């Protein structure tokens, strides 16, 4: 594979003068130090330029990510809330509504799909990935296999899915996906333990390296759960620790920072804390964490909503974009883009157009927030309702 010299990284294990901690020749030699040739391994992948281009496309001004990568079980819960059975036909109908919304590409640059959706087509036989491409939206794919208990931890989880990831990623690329998503979680009420933080960081780094080797821009997502009654200062402390570990292992795995995207939680108080924080406070703490931990080489920070109301998530994003940032600070929302859409649709064909318009309303609001120009004036009461679920899984 062609080497990309601009992404050269020094590998301490293969570099003799680093591993031996010495720049000089043998002791007793003359005062003229003998020069030693140092090998500089190159981060070689034929996808390097494409990864950078894809990441920049997704991190384009005024646009963000629509996340519709819920598992079939979680999608079933959403459908049940409007009285629909969890069948492939109903899942297809809902996702068709979302992915065929006219003009969506003005506000949405990427969409994360579940595996079923990546291979599905509309009822007219048009591939969903082609629907996205026509709107200049990059198709993405959820590649992790979900959370399972982490033995030896404080009742914490780890994310599985590395086995077979390379071959699966190659197939996803052939199907049209150009970025990937892997979600692991960290729980503040559970400690978090050093073991859980290290496991989360290492798993994300391995996934990111495998994704890049197969042409997919990895979204790096260690979600710090909202569960708990802790203050915002504690969230900041944990977030800094988690992201420090994540970038340490990303570097060890020779991941190209210019070809990744991040999906962090906003730094907020625990959902059960007695005092809520204002958007300005959340922006201050979140940007403090990012500036301390995230290199400016990373193109985009695509926040998750994590159970915030539609309006909360948008207000917080808007507050973070009141002054320039080193990265594109945007959104990768699921429930905070879909909640009103689902309730408007109600599973009825005659409501599809109205539901699509409600999606555009929410997408436009977050587009304005990415540009720092959003106002909550005129927002509905439904959009202000929180969606936090304790111990939420999907």
**Residue 32 scores a pLDDT above 50:** no
On whether residue 72 sits in a domain, the answer given is yes
pLDDT grade, residue 387 (50/70/90)?
Answer: very low
CA distance 334 to 112: 9
Neighbours of 295 (CB within 10 A): 12
* pLDDT average, residue stretch 240-246: 98
On whether residue 61 sits in a domain, the answer given is yes
Question: Which pLDDT score, from 0 to 100, does residue 271 have?
Answer: 87
Question: Which pLDDT score, from 0 to 100, does residue 15 have?
Answer: 35
- Calculate what percentage of the chain has a pLDDT beyond 70: 84
Question: Which pLDDT score, from 0 to 100, does residue 53 have?
Answer: 98
Q: Which domain holds residue 79?
A: 48-374
pLDDT grade, residue 226 (50/70/90)?
Answer: confident
Residues with catalytic roles:
221, 263
On whether residue 329 sits in a domain, the answer given is yes
Kindly report, residue by residue over 269-311, the tens digit of the pLDDT.
998 899 999 999 999 999 999 999 999 999 999 999 877 889 9
On whether residue 40 sits in a domain, the answer given is no
Average pLDDT, the chain: 88
**Residue 86 scores a pLDDT above 60:** yes
pLDDT grade, residue 11 (50/70/90)?
Answer: very low
Question: Which pLDDT score, from 0 to 100, does residue 43 have?
Answer: 56
* pLDDT average, residue stretch 369-381: 84
On whether residue 277 sits in a domain, the answer given is yes
On whether residue 76 sits in a domain, the answer given is yes
* pLDDT average, residue stretch 46-63: 97
pLDDT grade, residue 38 (50/70/90)?
Answer: low
On whether residue 43 sits in a domain, the answer given is no
When divided into structural domains, the chain yields a total of 1
* pLDDT average, residue stretch 73-77: 93
What b-and-e string marks burial along 253-262, b requiring 16 or more CB atoms within 10 Å of the CB?
A: bbbbbbbbbb
Question: What CATH number is attached to the domain comprising 271?
Answer: 3.20.20.70
**Residue 388 scores a pLDDT above 70:** no
Question: Which pLDDT score, from 0 to 100, does residue 58 have?
Answer: 98
On whether residue 66 sits in a domain, the answer given is yes
Kindly report, residue by residue over 93-152, the tens digit of the pLDDT.
999 999 999 999 999 999 999 999 999 999 999 999 999 999 999 999 999 999 999 999
Neighbours of 40 (CB within 10 A): 11
Question: Which pLDDT score, from 0 to 100, does residue 46 have?
Answer: 84
**Residue 52 scores a pLDDT above 80:** yes
The answer to whether the peptide bond before residue 192 is cis (omega within 30 degrees of 0) is: yes
């Amino acid at each position: 594979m062609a080497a990309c010299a601009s992404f050269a990284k020094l590998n301490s294990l293969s570099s003799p003068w680093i591993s031996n901690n010495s720049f000089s020749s043998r002791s007793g030699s003359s005062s003229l130090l003998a020069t030693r040739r140092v090998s500089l391994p190159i981060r070689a992948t034929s996808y390097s330029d494409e990864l950078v281009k894809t990441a920049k496309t997704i991190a384009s001004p005024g646009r963000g990510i629509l996340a519709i990568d819920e598992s079939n079980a979680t999608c079933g819960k959403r459908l049940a809330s409007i009285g629909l059975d969890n069948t492939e036909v109903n899942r297809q109908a809902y996702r068709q509504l979302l992915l065929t919304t006219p003009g969506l590409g003005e506000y949405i640059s990427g969409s994360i799909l579940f595996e079923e959706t990546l291979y599905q087509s509309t009822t007219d036989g048009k591939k969903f990935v082609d629907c996205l491409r026509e709107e200049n939206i990059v198709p993405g794919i959820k590649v992790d296999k979900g959370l399972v208990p982490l033995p030896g931890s404080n009742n914490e989880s780890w994310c599985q899915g590395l086995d077979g990831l390379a071959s699966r990623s190659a197939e996803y690329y052939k199907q049209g996906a150009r970025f990937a998503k892997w979600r692991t979680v960290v729980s503040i009420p559970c400690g978090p333990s050093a073991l859980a933080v290290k496991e989360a960081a290492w798993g994300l780094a391995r996934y990111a390296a495998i994704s890049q080797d197969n042409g997919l821009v990895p979204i790096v997502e260690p979600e710090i759960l909202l569960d708990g009654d802790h203050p915002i200062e504690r969230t900041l402390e944990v977030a800094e620790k988690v992201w420090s570990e994540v970038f340490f292992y990303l570097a060890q795995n020779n991941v190209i920072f210019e070809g990744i995207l991040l999906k962090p939680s906003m730094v907020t108080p625990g959902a059960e804390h007695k005092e809520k924080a204002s958007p300005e406070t959340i922006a201050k703490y979140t940007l403090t964490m990012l500036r301390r931990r995230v290199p400016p080489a990373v193109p985009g920070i695509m926040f998750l909503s994590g159970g915030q109301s539609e309006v909360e998530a948008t207000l917080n994003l808007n507050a973070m974009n009141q002054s320039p940032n080193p990265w594109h600070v945007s959104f990768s929302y699921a429930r905070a883009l879909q909640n009103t859409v689902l309730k408007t649709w109600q599973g009825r064909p005659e409501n599809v157009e109205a539901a699509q318009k409600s999606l555009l309303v929410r997408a436009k609001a977050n587009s304005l927030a990415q540009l720092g120009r959003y106002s909550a004036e005129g927002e509905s009461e439904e959009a202000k309702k929180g969606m936090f679920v304790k111990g939420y899984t999907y």
